[in-house]
A and B are shown apart, each in its own frame.
Chain A
Amino acid sequence: MKLLTHNMMKSHCKGVVNGFPLKLSSTQVEVKEVEFNADFITRMLERLEWGALVDAASQLGVADGLPEMAPSSGKEVEEEEDVLRKIHHVLLEVEITEGELECPETGRKFPIKNGIPDMRLNEDE
C-alpha cells in the first residue's frame, strides 16, 4: 500500500464523524523505484491532505525534504522539480508491505498483509 492510497482513505466504521486520517503503523516497508511523472504529481497536489501526508511520511522516516506547507500548484511548483520528485518518492515509491491501519475514533484495527489492507467490517460495524 502506497502513501498516496493512505492519504485518500478514511474510516468507514459506523457512526464515525471524522475518520481521517487512519493511523498507520508498519512493520515492513519496501522502497521501489517508480518512473517520475511531473504532470501527475502536480495534478495530485490539490487532492492531497498535506498534514496527513507529512505525518505518515515522518512515521516511516521518509519525510526528509518534504515542505511543511503544501506547495500550491502554480508556477513556483513547476520550476521546483526536486520538490516534485521528493513528493513523488513519498507518494509512489514507498510501499507498506506489513502493518496496520487504525480508525482514529473507534480504535478498530485493520491489518495490512503483503501490501494489501483488509478493510472488511463485521455486520455490526
Chain B
Amino acid sequence: WKQWYQRRVRVEDVDRFSNPKISLEQYPTDPHLAANVLYTIQSGYGDIEGRSIVELGAGCGILSIGCVMLGAEHVTALEVDGDAVEDLTENLSEFEIENVDVVQCDITSPSSLFREHCFDTAIMNPPFGTKNNEGIDMEFLDRALCLCRGAVYSFHKTSTRDFITRRMEGMGYHVAVLAEMKFSIPQMYKMHRQREVLVAVDFIRVSRDPT
C-alpha cells in the first residue's frame, strides 16, 4: 500500500503551500513519511479504515487524503489559513477525494467548535511552538483528545518527549512513541540560513487504553 500511496501522491503532484506563513509554521508533510505513518496507524491499530477521523491543522491535506485512500469512512479537516484551505481544496479535487469535510477554524480557540468525543481517531502534524507560539503543540494535543474518543496520533519534538509523557500520563492517558525521526524542514523561508533544518521528532500515539 505504501508504494501505491507514494506513487499516487508523488511529491510533485501534491500542491504545496502556495503562500506559506512563517507564524503558522507551515510546511508540507513529506508524502513518504505520511505513507509510513498512516500505514502504521492502520496496520498496527486499525484506527483508519471504516473510522471517522479528524485532522487538526490539515494544511495541504496530505494526511487527510492518505486516510481516505486507506479506507477512512469520513475525514474532517480543520485548518485556519485561507490560502492553505484553497490548496487543500485543490488537492481534494485533483485526487478525486470525497468524504472529507473541511472546516476553517482556529483549533486553539478557548471553546471547542465540536461536541466532545465525536470522532474515532485524531491525526495531526501540529506546529511545534517555535514561532512565538510556545505551548501550541500541547494545545493541539489537548483539543485532539477532546474531539476524539479513540487514539490521537501526532508529531512532537523529541526534546519535549518527557514533558508530554508525564503530562499525558498524569491525565490518565497512555503514550507510545511509535517512531523517532528527523524532520527535514526545507528552506521555505528566507530566514533559514541553511538549505534545510533537521529537527528530532517523535511520532506518538496517545490513547485511553493500555495497548
Contact = CB atoms under 8 A, between A and B. Distances in A.
Interface of A: 1-2, 4-5, 8-10, 12-14, 16, 20, 32, 34, 37, 39-40, 44, 47, 49, 92, 114-121
A116 B89 contact: yes
Given A14-B111, A114-B89, A120-B80, A8 B104 contact: no
Contacts of B74: 2, 4, 40, 92
Given A9-B114, A40-B50, A116 B102 contact: yes
Contacts of A5: 76, 101, 103
B118 A116 contact: no
Interface in B68-86: 73-74, 76, 80, 82, 85
B85 A39 contact: no
Contacts, number: 73
A92 B85 CA distance: 21
Interface in B90-143: 98-99, 101-106, 109-115, 117-119
B107 to A, nearest CB: 11
Contact of B111 (A4, A12, A39, A92): A12
B52 interface: yes
A117 B101 CA distance: 9
Interface residues on B, range: 20 to 34
B207 to A, nearest CB: 18
Nearest to B99: A34
Contacts of A114: 89
Interface in B32-53: 50, 52
Contact of B115 (A1, A8, A92): A8
A25 B123 CA distance: 30
B186 to A, nearest CB: 28
A5 to B, nearest CB: 4
B60 to A, nearest CB: 15
A14 B110 contact: yes
A14 B73 CA distance: 33
Contacts of B112: 10, 12
B109 A12 contact: yes
B104 A119 contact: yes
6 closest A-B pairs by CB: A12-B111, A119-B105, A8-B118, A5-B101, A118-B104, A40-B73
A44 B113 contact: no
A13 B112 CA distance: 9
A16 B110 CA distance: 12
A114 B101 CA distance: 11
A120 B50 contact: no
B104 A120 contact: yes
Given A34-B99, A40-B50, A117-B104, A9 B113 contact: yes
B110 to A, nearest CB: 7
Contacts of A118: 82, 104-105
B104 A116 contact: yes
Contacts of A117: 103-104
